[in-house]
Amino acid sequence: MATGSQIYTCKPGTDGALQWVLKAPDADLHDKKGAVIGHHFAGPSWKHKDGSEITGKASAHVDSPECGFHPVAAGVSNGSHGEGMFAKVTTFKRINTQGGKAPAASECDASKTGTESKSAYSADYYFYAPGK
């Protein structure tokens, strides 16, 4: 499980209008007992406490069946670094995402250009590697 924030920046979007744009996640990864075992950050990247790290790229998403939840997402690893838990990860999946949505569009105006807003979220991440 991951718990933390999604960080948004108020800036012009591709159409030139001001909007909240996702900058990066900032979340701790927890094992089944709740102990912190890693961190999720910009990239998107995940770093395990053993030093191994992956950077991924979303490959698919499906709208969540529950209102207010983020879509279920799946992705592929763009590469890994180090030896350890994430060394051989090739794909990942994010489910049960709660929170993390951008602030209301009306809150991003000229007076807030360049400012950041953090939105608390939690999600379950699954990482997959080829079998032995």
Give me the mean pLDDT over the 20-49 stretch. 96
pLDDT computed for residue 82 by the predictor: 85
Q: How many CB atoms lie within 10 A of CB 123?
A: 24
Q: The pTM is what?
A: 0.85
Range of 91's domain?
Answer: 2-128
- Mean pLDDT score of the chain, rounded to an integer? 89
The tally of domains found in the chain comes to 1
Residues 106 and 14 sit within 8 Å (Cβ to Cβ): no
pLDDT digits (tens, 9 = 90+) for 47-96: 999 999 999 888 776 665 555 555 667 677 777 788 999 999 998 999 89
